[in-house]
Amino acid sequence: AFSHHMLTFGATIHFIIPELDAGNQIIHQNAFTVSPGTPLKEIKRIGETEHEPECLVEGVRRVVDREVEMHFHRVVGINGKD
């Protein structure tokens, strides 16, 4: 993304399955934008210190609270939650 001058970055928490790109295993995503010219080191710092931890905590919470689960290698909401 950085080499293509993208301004939106993020973190994704997902289940891991044996097949590569086999479907929807995403539990939670967290995106953030940066200003043009933001150095890569700063983008990494923002992602690693502000967004990855929050994304991980929310992803784990969603699994522990049984809001999502794996069903035939796809993440599904439970009881109408998603």
Count of domains observed in the chain: 1
C-beta separation of 54 from 28 below 8 A = no
Phi, psi of 2 (to 5 degrees): -65, -45
pLDDT tens digits for 64-78? 998 888 776 667 777
Residue with tokens 């994304």: 55
Residue 11 domain flag: yes
pLDDT, tens only, 21-48: 666 788 899 999 999 999 999 999 999 9
82 in a domain, yes or no? Answer: no
42, 34 contact by CB (below 8 A):
yes
| In a domain? residue 65 | yes
For 18-32, b where at least 16 C-beta lie within 10 A, e where not — what string? eeeeeeebebbebee
Owning domain of residue 13: 2-77
**Collapsed DSSP state (helix, strand, coil) of residue 22:** coil
pTM over cut 0.85: no
